[in-house]
Structure 1
Amino acid sequence: MLKWFLTGKQQSKITDPTMVRKMFRSARIQGVTAMILGYGMYYVMRMTLGVVKKPMIEAGFTPTELGQIGAAMLIAIAVGKCLNGFIADRCNIKKIVPIGLLGAAIVNFILGFSSQYWIFLALWFVNGWFQSMGSAPCIVSLAQWYSKSQLATYYGVFSIAHYIGEGATYFGTAMLVVAFGWHAAFFVPGIACIVLAFIMYRYMYDRPEAYGLPSANEFEGEVLQEKKEKEKTTRDAQLEVIKNPYVWLIALSATCLGIARYSMSSWGVIFLQEYKAYSLVTAGSIMALSPLMGGVGSFFSGIISDKIFKANHALTTIVFGCMMLVGIIGFCYTPAGSPWIDMLWISVFGFGLGVILCFVGGMLAVDLCSRKATGAAMGTIGLLSYGGAAAQDLINGLLMDAAKTVVDGQVIYHFENIMLFWIGAVALMTILIVPTLWAKKVKHNESSNNKNLDEKLQKKTQA
C-alpha cells in the first residue's frame, strides 16, 4: 500500500524540444495553481478555531481548553511535517497533498456537529496530522519543477496560498458564524474542501522525470547545479541537512516565527474583541488585512530579495523582521477605538510577515541544501516552527486565564503580559537570523561561480 505513494519510475526522455517546453509550461501552470488554491483551503481547515473562540467560550469552553485544543493540532503538525518532509523527497507529491486536504475536510465536517471538549481535542490533533501533509510536499514539488535559481521567486508566488486561506477564514468564517452559528464555520468549509481535494489531485503532477522530461535544472540550462545534485543520494543530502548548524539556527528563528504568527492568527480576533471592544465582524475584518498584505508581501518577496537585496535572503529577512516588530508594537499599543490605525499596523505586520514567512519558513534552509533534501529541510524547519506555534497556544491560553478578573459578575481579560510575549518573539526571531548572513555569503559566491561556468559551457556548446 505504501508503495503507491512512491514517485514514478524515470521514463525515457522525450527528444522533441517543443513538446518538452509545452509539457513543462502546462505542468507548471496547472500544478502551481492547484497547490495555491488547495493549500489555501488547508488554512481554512486549520484557522477556524482562531475566529470562533469567543462564541465557543460562551458555549462553555475555557481559554485554557481552547489553548490545549489548538496546541494539539500544532504538535501534530510539527511532528508530522518533519516526518512527511523527509518522506516527500521520495514520494509522488500528487498523491500526498490532496489526501491531506481530504482528511482535514472530513475532520472539520465532523466537528461541525460536536460540542465536546475531548472530541475537539482528539479530532483537532488528527486534523493537524493531515495538515502536515501540505506545506513540505508542496515545496518539494516546486523544487522538482523549478530550477535552483528560480525557486525563491516561485516559492514567493506559492506562499500567497497561506494568505488566501487566512483571509477567507477571517472574513468568510466570521460571516458564517454571524449568520448560522459557530458550528457552521466547521462543516460548511469541510464540504467544499472534500470536493476541492479531488480537483487538486486531477491537476497536480509527479516529478518531471516520471513523464520523460528533463530535470528543472537541465531544462533551464543549469548544468553544473544538476551535476552536483546527481553526485549525492537522497539519503546523503538529507544527512547534510541534519548536520548543517545554520539550518538549526534558522529553525530556532522559525520557532519564534511560529509563536508570533500563530499568536496573532489564533488570538488576534479575541484580543480585539476583549481588549479593544470590537465586534466579531469588525475584529475579523481588521485581522483579515494581515493575510491580505501578507499575500502581497509573499508574492513580491522573491523579487524584493533578488532585485533590491541582490539575492541576500538573510538580509531581506532581517529588514522585514524589523518591519514586523514595528507593526506588532503599534498594533498592541494603539488605543482602543481606533480601527483605522489598527488596520494600518496590522497591514505593516502582515506585509513583513509575508516576506519573512517565505525565508524563515523554509527558503533560507532550502537555499543551503540540495534539491534532493528539500523536504528534509522543510521538515526540520517545520518541526521547530510548529513546536513554537503549539507552545504559544498553551502559553497564550494560560496567560489569558491567569490575567482575568471578575467585576460585577463580568469576566475581564487583561493582555499586558501577552503583548510582551508577542513582541519578544518577533524581536528574538530577527536576532537569530543575523549569523546566517555569513552562510548566505558563501552560498552566493558558489552560485555566482556556477552561473558563470554554465554560461561558458553554453557558449562552447553553441559554438
Structure 2
Amino acid sequence: MDASWQQRMARLNRRRWLVWTPLAFAFLASYFHRTATGVVADSLMREFAITRAADLGGLAAVYFYTYAAMQVPAGLLADRFGPRRTILLALAVAALGATLFGLAPNLTVLYCGRFLSSLGVSLIYVNIVKIHAEWFRGREFATMTGLIVVAGSAGFLLAATPLAFFVDRFGWRVSFLAIAAYSLLAAVACWLLVRDRPAAVGLPSIAAVEAREGGGPPLAAAAAEPAPPENGWDSLQKILLNPYTWWPFWASVAVYGVYMAFMGLWAVPYFMQIYGMSRVAASNHILAMAAGTMVGGPLIGLWSDRRATRRLPNLLVSSGFLGVWLLLTVWNGGRPPEWALYPLCFGIGLGMSGVNLNVACGKEVNPPQWTGVVAGIVNSGSFVGAALLQPLFGWVLDRNWGGLAAHGVRIYPLSAYRTAFWCCAVVLALGILFILWIKETGCVNISRRERATGPAGAPQ
C-alpha cells in the first residue's frame, strides 16, 4: 500500500470521528424528548388539569406518531439534500418546539410544542444512518448503530434522575428551555463539523476503501446499481414491495413499543404509586434501563458484526426481554421486591437492544444507495409501536382505575398495572415471532441476489 494512500486513510479515520461526534450530541436531544414527559407526568397532569391516563398517554404519543410519520420523509431528505443541511433544520425546529413546550400557557400550545420538538428530532437518526453508510465500512455498521444508541441513551440518563432533580429545584418549564438552548448549540456544532461524505473534504469514498481492501459482493452490488430516481418514488415503491423490509419493521413495533410504553411514560408513575417512591427515586430506575440499553447496544452490534449474523442475536436478546418482563408481571403479583427492581430494569434495557439490528436487517435486503429511505421505513416501526402502546397502556389503567385520586392525579391500583403488563407481554411474544421471519443476510447486502432468485416465503 503506497504512502499517499496510507496518509489519506489516516485522515479519513480521524475525520470520520470528527463528523460523528457532534451528531452523537445532537442525537442526545432526541432521546431526552422521548422520555422526559414520564418524569414530569404528575406536574403536567396537575398544571393542565389532565385527569385521565389515556390523555397523558396521548400527549406523550404525539412524539411517536410524528416521529413515525417523518421517517420516510427523513430518508428522502437525507438521500436528496444530505445529512448536514437536514440536521441543521431538524435541531432548529426541535429548539423552537422545546421553547413552546416550556412556555406553554395552555394545553393547545403544549401539544404544539410537543409536535414541533418531535418533528425536529425525528429527522436526526435516519441522517446519522446515512452518515454511517458514507463514512464507515459495511462491516462496521451494526457496531456504529450500537455506539450511536449509547450516545442517544445519554439523553435517557439526563431525562431521568438529573431531570427529576432539576424539576424539583427549578421547575419543569426551565428544564425544557434548557434543552432548547442545547439543541441550538448542537446545530451550530453540526454545521461547522459535519460533512455529508468523504469526497466533500477531498478524501476517498468508503466504496473505494472497501474496493481497495477487497470489499467483495456488497460493493460490487452497489457499483452495479443505477442511481436512484430523483423523486425517490420508484425506489420507495420497490422497498415497500419487498417483503423482507417488513419483518424488522413489525419486530420493532412490538419490542420497542413495549419498552417505550414503560420506560418512556408509565415506569415513573408505577414506581411512585405502587412503591411510594419519590420522583427522584423512581427516576433512578429509568437510569437502570438506560444503562442496560447503553451496555447492550454496542455489545450486540459488535457481536453481530464479528459473527456475521443479524437474526440470532436479535432473537436471543429479545427473548431475554420477554423473560424479564414476565418476571416483572408475575413476581409477587406484579410487585417484585424492591431490591430486585434495579436488576429487572437493567434487564429490560438490555433486552431492548436487539431492536438496534433491525435497521441493518432492512438495509441489507435493499439496494445500498437507498439506505436513507430504508432506514426511515424500518425505524418508523419503533415509533409506531410506542405511539400505539403508550395510550393503550393508559387506557388499560383507566379501565381498571379504582376511583382513588390525590392532588388531581389518579392513583392506579396494582391490579391495573398488572393487567397492562400482561398486554405488553403478549405484544412482546408477537415481536419474537416477527424476528423469526427476518431474513438472515450474513451482514452483507443481498438485494441483487434476491432480485435474481426471488424472495422466499419463509424464514431464511
Shorter chain as normaliser: what TM range? 0.7 to 0.9
Q: Residues 228-243 of structure 1: matches in 2 within 5 Å? A: 228-232=221-225, 233-235=227-229, 238-243=236-241
1:374 aligns with 2:371: yes
CA deviation profile, 1:413-459 (whole Å, cap 9, x unmatched)? 121221112222222111111022xx315776969x9xxxxxxxxxx
Q: Residues 134-145 of structure 1: matches in 2 within 5 Å? A: 134-145=124-135
Q: Which moves more between the two structures, 328-337 or 58-67?
A: 328-337
Within the candidate set 83, 95, 107, 2:73 is matched to 83
1:25 aligns with 2:13: yes
Q: Give the 3-state SS of the residue equivalent to 2:138 in structure 1.
A: coil
1:49 aligns with 2:48: no
- Structure 1 gap ranges (5+): 1-14, 450-463
Q: Residues 296-375 of structure 1: matches in 2 within 5 Å? A: 296-307=295-306, 310-335=307-332, 336=335, 338-354=337-353, 356-360=354-358, 362-375=359-372
Match of 1:455 in 2: none
Report the CA distance between 1:350 and its aligned residue: 0.8
Q: Residues 153-172 of structure 1: matches in 2 within 5 Å? A: 153-172=143-162
Match of 1:178 in 2: 168
Q: Using a 3 Å threshold, how does the CA distance of structure 1 residues 114 and 21 change in structure 2: closer, same or farther? A: same
Contact 1:269 1:280 in 2 (8 A): yes
Q: Give the 3-state SS of the residue equivalent to 1:415 in structure 2.
A: helix
Match of 1:117 in 2: 107
- Distance, in Å, in 2 between the alignment partners of 1:434 and 1:223 is 27
CA deviation profile, 1:66-91 (whole Å, cap 9, x unmatched)? 22212222111111112111331222
Match of 2:275 in 1: 276
- Distance, in Å, in 1 between the alignment partners of 2:135 and 2:445 is 24
CA deviation profile, 1:219-247 (whole Å, cap 9, x unmatched)? 13226433321222224655442222011
TM-score (norm 2): 0.86
Report the CA distance between 1:33 and its aligned residue: 1.6
Match of 2:248 in 1: 250
Instruction: Tell me the percent identity.
Output: 19
- Structure 2 gap ranges (5+): 450-460
Within the candidate set 406, 429, 432, 2:431 is matched to 429
- Distance, in Å, in 1 between the alignment partners of 2:103 and 2:390 is 24
- Distance, in Å, in 2 between the alignment partners of 1:322 and 1:160 is 21
Contact 1:327 1:345 in 2 (8 A): yes
Question: After TM superposition, which residue ranges in structure 1, 4 or more long, deviate above 6 angstroms?
Answer: none
- Distance, in Å, in 2 between the alignment partners of 1:230 and 1:365 is 19
Report the CA distance between 1:334 and its aligned residue: 4.4
Q: Using a 3 Å threshold, how does the CA distance of structure 1 residues 108 and 231 change in structure 2: closer, same or farther? A: same
Contact 1:27 1:205 in 2 (8 A): no
Q: Give the 3-state SS of the residue equivalent to 1:440 in structure 2.
A: coil
Q: Using a 3 Å threshold, how does the CA distance of structure 1 residues 105 and 445 change in structure 2: closer, same or farther? A: closer
Match of 1:151 in 2: 141
Match of 2:440 in 1: 440
TM-score (norm 1): 0.86
Match of 2:457 in 1: none
Contact 1:61 1:117 in 2 (8 A): no
Contact 1:273 1:279 in 2 (8 A): yes
Q: Which moves more between the two structures, 371-380 or 195-204?
A: 195-204
How many residues matched? Answer: 428
- Distance, in Å, in 1 between the alignment partners of 2:370 and 2:189 is 28
Within the candidate set 366, 387, 400, 2:384 is matched to 387
Contact 2:95 2:181 in 1 (8 A): yes
Q: Using a 3 Å threshold, how does the CA distance of structure 1 residues 433 and 299 change in structure 2: closer, same or farther? A: same
1:61 aligns with 2:60: no
Which amino acid in structure 2 is aligned with residue 260 of structure 1? V
Q: Which moves more between the two structures, 337-346 or 374-383?
A: 337-346
CA deviation profile, 1:231-275 (whole Å, cap 9, x unmatched)? 222246554422220111211111112321211222111121123
CA deviation profile, 1:84-106 (whole Å, cap 9, x unmatched)? 11331222211212331232122
Match of 1:3 in 2: none
RMSD over equivalenced CA pairs, Å: 2.4
Which amino acid in structure 2 is aligned with residue 322 of structure 1? S
Match of 1:263 in 2: 261
